[in-house]
Structure 1
Amino acid sequence: MTNPTKASTEGASSFARVQAGMARRRAAERRFKLLGRAAVGIGLLFLAVLLTSIVSRGYTAFWQTEMRLDVVLVADEIDPEGTRLVDTLHKADYSALIKQSLRDMFPEVSSRRDRFALYGLVSNGAAFDLRDRVMADPSLIGTTVSLWVPADDDVDMLMKGHIDREGPEADRRIKDTTLGWIDQLEADGRLALRFNTAFFTKGDSRDPELAGIRGALMGTIFTLVVTLALSFPLGVAAAVYLEEFAPKNRWTDLIEVNINNLAAVPSIVFGLLGLAVFINVFGLPRSAPLLGGLVLTLMTLPTIIIASRAALKSVPPSIRDAALGIGASPMQATLFHVIPLALPGMLTGTIIGMAQALGETAPLLMIGMVAFIADVPQGVFDPATALPVQIYLWADSPERAFVERTSAAIMVLLAFLALMNLVAVLLRKRFERRW
Structure 2
Amino acid sequence: MTDAALPTAATAAERRSLAEARLKRRRAQETRFMWYGRLAILVALAFLTILIGRIALQGYTTFVDYRISVPVLVDPARVDRADITGANYDQMVAEAVLAKLGETDDEFGETSGELKELLSNDLGFQILDQVRADPGLIGRTVTVTGPLGADAGLYFKGELDRATPEADRKLDDRQLAWLDKMKAQGMVSSSFNLGFLTRSDSTEPEQAGVLGAVVGSALMLIVTAALAVPIGMLAAVYLEEFAPKNRWTDIIEVNINNLAAVPSIVYGLLGLAVFINWLAVPRSSPLVGGLVLALMSLPTVIIATRASLKAVPPSIREAALAVGASRTQTVFHHVLPLAMPGVMTGAILSLAHALGETAPLLMIGMVSFVPGVPAGFTEGATVLPVQIFIWENASERAFHERTAAAILVLLVFMILMNLAAILVRRRFERRW
TM-score, structure 2 normalization = 0.95
2:103 to 107, 120, 125: 107
- Equivalent residue, structure 1, for 2:407: 410
1:257-268 aligned at under 5 Å gives the runs 257-268=254-265
Secondary structure at 1:67 match in 2: strand
Give the root-mean-square deviation of aligned CA atoms: 1.7
- Equivalent residue, structure 2, for 1:424: 421
**Distance across 2 between alignment mates of 1:115 and 1:94:** 12
2:251 to 251, 254, 257: 254
- Equivalent residue, structure 1, for 2:303: 306
**Distance across 1 between alignment mates of 2:426 and 2:245:** 33
- Equivalent residue, structure 2, for 1:84: none
Secondary structure at 1:347 match in 2: helix
Aligned: 1:236 with 2:237? no
- Equivalent residue, structure 2, for 1:295: 292
Structure 1: 5+ residue stretches without partners: 82-87
Q: What amino acid sits opposite 1:290 in the alignment? A: L
1:112-131 aligned at under 5 Å gives the runs 112-131=109-128
Distance 1:139 1:328, change over 3 A: farther
Q: Percent identical across equivalent pairs?
A: 51
1:103 Cα offset (Å): 3.9
Secondary structure at 1:269 match in 2: helix
- Equivalent residue, structure 1, for 2:388: 391
- Do 1:102 and 1:119's aligned partners in 2 also have CA atoms closer than 8 Å? no
- Do 2:90 and 2:116's aligned partners in 1 also have CA atoms closer than 8 Å? no
Count of residue pairs the alignment pairs up: 428
Q: What amino acid sits opposite 2:426 in the alignment? A: K
Distance 1:113 1:334, change over 3 A: same
- Equivalent residue, structure 2, for 1:179: 176
1:408 Cα offset (Å): 0.2
**Distance across 1 between alignment mates of 2:342 and 2:358:** 27
1:97 Cα offset (Å): 3.0
Aligned: 1:49 with 2:54? no
- Equivalent residue, structure 2, for 1:380: 377
- Equivalent residue, structure 2, for 1:283: 280
1:312-354 CA deviation, whole Å, 9 max, x = no partner?
0111111111111111111111111111100000000001100
1:261-284 CA deviation, whole Å, 9 max, x = no partner?
000000010001101111111111
- Do 1:215 and 1:377's aligned partners in 2 also have CA atoms closer than 8 Å? yes
User: Which has the larger displacement, 420-429 or 92-101?
Assistant: 92-101
Aligned: 1:205 with 2:205? no
Structure 2: 5+ residue stretches without partners: none
**Distance across 2 between alignment mates of 1:129 and 1:48:** 42
**Distance across 1 between alignment mates of 2:365 and 2:28:** 58
1:207-247 CA deviation, whole Å, 9 max, x = no partner?
11111111111111110000000000000000000001001
Q: What amino acid sits opposite 2:12 in the alignment? A: G
Aligned: 1:59 with 2:74? no
1:16 Cα offset (Å): 1.4
- Equivalent residue, structure 2, for 1:85: none
1:30-59 CA deviation, whole Å, 9 max, x = no partner?
111111100100000000011110000000
1:96 Cα offset (Å): 3.9
Q: What amino acid sits opposite 1:434 in the alignment? A: R
1:319 to 291, 306, 316: 316
**Distance across 1 between alignment mates of 2:282 and 2:176:** 48
- Equivalent residue, structure 1, for 2:269: 272
Distance 1:10 1:182, change over 3 A: same
**Distance across 1 between alignment mates of 2:218 and 2:145:** 32
1:6-45 aligned at under 5 Å gives the runs 6-45=7-46
- Do 1:55 and 1:407's aligned partners in 2 also have CA atoms closer than 8 Å? yes
- Do 1:289 and 1:380's aligned partners in 2 also have CA atoms closer than 8 Å? yes
- Do 1:69 and 1:149's aligned partners in 2 also have CA atoms closer than 8 Å? no
**Distance across 2 between alignment mates of 1:218 and 1:94:** 32
Aligned: 1:365 with 2:362? yes
**Distance across 2 between alignment mates of 1:142 and 1:321:** 86
**Distance across 1 between alignment mates of 2:54 and 2:134:** 44
Q: What amino acid sits opposite 2:37 in the alignment? A: G
**Distance across 1 between alignment mates of 2:22 and 2:116:** 82
